Structure 1
């Protein structure tokens, strides 16, 4: 494959001539790191082998989009292209623009020792190696031994040799680093990150179930201070094993026709996952919420909110209407939390999550504050 023109087109999309990331994007053959990937197929996923169609391979690898490389415990490298794989994505090659933005937030400089958390395909490590110009400065870790093995081999084939280690990125780190950039989201900052961050070092991560990017610099007390960036990004959550816990499907089924407390909202149904600020603030208020949307009888718009504590909400906006019928049950009223956030946005014209000050204690307790608002992870 003549991949250079494709990489140049990607560089032109993600960066600009003279940018610190222009050359890394131009010189990284992403297709060599993502030889197979999954595409949605019905209610599951089917694998695509890049070498079967080089034109399709180039179009996918050098587009600014995320390529899912693993579903459940099945990596695309092993999958039968004739078989549909069911499950949730557990690894991917993240869209290049988001990878670059995360690395930019790290403020990399010559001589910086970088820890790249969540090796995945190895693409973020490859870009970092090109940017820093010294493979020995880049360490990448992932909990999945196949991912680290495959990435090591593929990085080696393109002439890059960062240190790649199989370990839980939320646990004890394999050294001390000037920068920690997590390409996986966390519910709170692991204390091991702070212990493994050099004095004056900087960490960059996202918070699970939100679109919030947090940057923070280590303080003398062993904690860190920073902010929620005026930017947004979302990654898969950290996992302790080969797959994620099952979704709340049983609660979804049981709540589909269940009677509960019924109210009427003046707002139409909202696809919360597409409303980044609302989604982020709602998750901080009640971590663990699952959101689902669909179409009901007569073309009505529907949404469901589900929580591991058994709480649920079902909302329906009839076609052509603006008000919504809401039915809720369980320990708490999830839709009321959403309504409160929507009213706050209307009253203030914004939500306080972006631009919030971030304070992290040495044990990882993370507090966000802005304009009288406060949330502790």
Structure 2
């Protein structure tokens, strides 16, 4: 494959000629790091073999797109081409534009020691090696196959970062000037602060939100920073091969139970596409699973589900501007959503983006802005 024109086109989308990341993108053969991946379909995820479909491979690898490489415990490398797999994505090669955004927030100046959390395909480590040099980059993932495969493929393209298999929530193998995480966390793990050098900087996203947090280590062992105005969403950290199963039992209840019925003054909202609202709601009630659909009568529908048994269902007929809401369980999830939507109308914005971040030495993470505050 003549990959260089494709990489140049990707660099034009994900960076610009004056950027520190222009050359790394242009000179990194991403296709050699992602030989197989999954594409979604109506019945699950289908494995695609790049080397056997070179044009498809080039188009996918050099698009500014996330390529899903693992579904549940099944990596695309181990799935027969055309095979359909069901489950949740558990690893991917993140879209290059977002990788660059996270690395840029890390302020990777020459000489800094970087910990790249969540190895995935190894693409973020490859870009970082180009910028810093191999000896200053460590890449870590909980999955031994991912670190092994990435290390082998990185070596083929002449990159040799230190690849470590470990749990990012536990003791980290070294001291670093920068920690940039390509996986989300519910709050800052204490081991990150321990492994961060004095004055070091960490960059991560918060699970279930679109929030990017940047923070610099303080003298007391904590850190201070802010929620960036950029937005991003990554897979959450996991302790095993897969994530917990979807809340299908709660969904079955939410589909049929009448619960408490109210009328909302707002139209039905696809919360996952409303980043400010979604982020604010996730901070207020972490762990909500959102689903959308269409009723038999063509009405717009949305469901909110939680592992504690709380649920909400809202629908809105064609031409209508208000929604009928059904809720049940120990909490009224839709009421929380409406409180946030009212706040947005009252203030013209929500306080999550641009918030100050204060992290205590034990990882306690507080966001605050304009009289609003929450601790993760």
Alpha-carbon separation, structure 2, partners of 1:101 and 1:303: 31
Name the TM-score, length of structure 2 as normaliser.
0.99
Residue in 1 that maps onto 2:39: 39
1:54-113 CA distance string (max 9 Å, x none): 111000000000000000000000102232100000000000000000000001101010
Q: How does 1:173-322 map to 2 (within 5 A)?
A: 173-322=172-321
Superposed displacement of residue 46, structure 1? 0.4
1:277-317 CA distance string (max 9 Å, x none): 00000000000100000000221000000011110000001
Alpha-carbon separation, structure 2, partners of 1:119 and 1:82: 26
In structure 2, the residue corresponding to 1:154 is in which secondary structure? helix
Alpha-carbon separation, structure 2, partners of 1:17 and 1:184: 28
Alpha-carbon separation, structure 2, partners of 1:68 and 1:109: 30
Alpha-carbon separation, structure 2, partners of 1:81 and 1:298: 39
Alpha-carbon separation, structure 2, partners of 1:319 and 1:298: 9
For structure 1, list consecutive stretches of 5 or more residues without a partner in the other structure: none
Residue in 2 that maps onto 1:327: 326
Superposed displacement of residue 10, structure 1? 0.3
1:1-42 CA distance string (max 9 Å, x none): 000000000001111112100000011000000000000121
Residue in 2 that maps onto 1:24: 24
Residue in 2 that maps onto 1:355: 354
Query: For residues 300 and 117 of structure 1, do their structure 2 counterparts lie closer, same or farther at Cα, with a shift above 3 Å needed?
Result: same
Structure 1 runs of 4+ with >3 Å offset? none
1:208-265 CA distance string (max 9 Å, x none): 0000000000000000000000110000000000110111111101221112110000
Superposed displacement of residue 170, structure 1? 1.4
2:114 is aligned with 1:82:
no
Q: How does 1:150-161 map to 2 (within 5 A)?
A: 150-161=149-160
RMSD: 0.6
Residue in 1 that maps onto 2:56: 56
Which stretch of the first structure deviates more once superposed, 10-19 or 277-286?
A: 10-19
In structure 1, the residue corresponding to 2:215 is in which secondary structure? strand
For structure 2, list consecutive stretches of 5 or more residues without a partner in the other structure: none
For the 8 Å contact 2:310–2:329, the answer to whether it is kept is yes
The count of aligned residue pairs is 376
Name the TM-score, length of structure 1 as normaliser.
0.99
Alpha-carbon separation, structure 1, partners of 2:15 and 2:285: 37
2:13 is aligned with 1:13:
yes
Residue in 1 that maps onto 2:336: 337
